[in-house]
Amino acid sequence: MKRYLIGRIGQALLVLWGAYTVTYLILYLLPGDTLSIMLSASGMEADGLSAEDLAKARAYYGLDQGLWQQYADLLWRALHGDLGHSLSLNRPVTALLAERLPQTLALAGLAIVLSLLGGIGLGYLTAYLQWRPLKTALSRLPSLGFSVPVFWMGLLLIQVFAFGLGWFPATGSRGFDSLVLPAVTLAIPSAAVYAQVLQRGFQGVWQEPYIVTAFAKGLSRAQVQARHGLRNAALPILTLVGLQVGNTVSGAVLVETIFSRNGVGRLAQEAVLRQDIPVVLAIVSVSAAAFVVINLLVDLLYPYLDPRISHCPKVS
């Protein structure tokens, strides 16, 4: 287990470094001049400044260095906990993340909880029901859930529950009420995936010998499904929880834009449009770190949930 843990931590560090490097190269290769974009965002034009002023500005922001010099400088400072300053907002990146991150964490956290409750609940109910018409109808809901575009679902929820019924605000970041519709919008695709995987898991579990033995002992269908079926049918969902973290983070960019929430998603969108490299790199690093940590925890939990799985090499 110790060797496995060291290997997984090494892989996690490689993922973080790879995400950081690829993001930097993509941003560097984007068309347009970073300084010109920054000046335009602040209401100024590069043509209105002298060559000397432009040179000073480039030197101040470190834009006069080469590709790899800038990369090495940013990476070295990031390794020491310094995420740099925003090129467009002229503020420490850590301060920007401290302001925006709680909003995104609240949105992602509630979305994950809703997706697990909704997806597992739907999958469990579908597996338990025996009336064929209703069972068939419920089994087709997951396909509808992850085939509908997120932006369309968000607009539909705004139209119905904000403008129509007036239950929740359409936009904003104040209070729990403003969090409900964005979280539901973000949760629906993941819940659909969980439900479909759980439905297929139960299809295989019902054929297992221990299920037949449980029925032979006189247990009811509800007891067999709760005590013996759910644990094994739900094991693939544990892996999906780790994978869905990435989808939740990427989906937050669109959802926060739709609902005008001041979270990391909107900050990332604004930083990309302005080619604010330090901000984008910091957001990607934080997102990748959350992704690898959760997947590492999932891998470590697997052997405890299913004793048949072991990371330790067998001795012949």
Per-residue pLDDT of 161-172, as tens digits, reads 888 888 888 887
Residue 121 has pLDDT above 60, yes or no: yes
- DSSP helix/strand/coil, 274: coil
pLDDT of residue 46: 52
Range among 111-115, 208-212, 293-297 rated most confident: 111-115
Superfamily of domain 104-305: MetI-like (1.10.3720.10)
pLDDT of residue 314: 46
Residue 305 has pLDDT above 70, yes or no: no
List the chain domain ranges: 1-94, 104-305
The H or E element spanning position 303 is helix 277-305
* Contacts of 271 by beta carbon, 8 Å cutoff, 6+ apart: 86, 88, 279, 280, 283
Question: Which has more pLDDT, 127 or 31?
Answer: 127
Least confident residue range of 15-24, 47-56, 110-119, 227-236: 47-56
Range among 62-66, 138-142, 176-180 rated most confident: 176-180
For helices 93-128 and 264-273, the axis angle rounded to 10 degrees is: 120
Please compute the mean of the pLDDT values over residues 58-64 and round it to a whole number.
64
pTM for this prediction: 0.72
- DSSP helix/strand/coil, 174: coil
Residue 292 has pLDDT above 60, yes or no: yes
Residue 307 has pLDDT above 60, yes or no: no
Residue 316 has pLDDT above 50, yes or no: no
C-alpha separations of 14 from 11, 22, 80, 296, 300 in Å:
5, 12, 17, 13, 19
* Contacts of 197 by beta carbon, 8 Å cutoff, 6+ apart: 123, 236, 237, 240
The 10s digit of each residue's pLDDT in 26-35 is 877 766 666 6
- DSSP helix/strand/coil, 214: helix
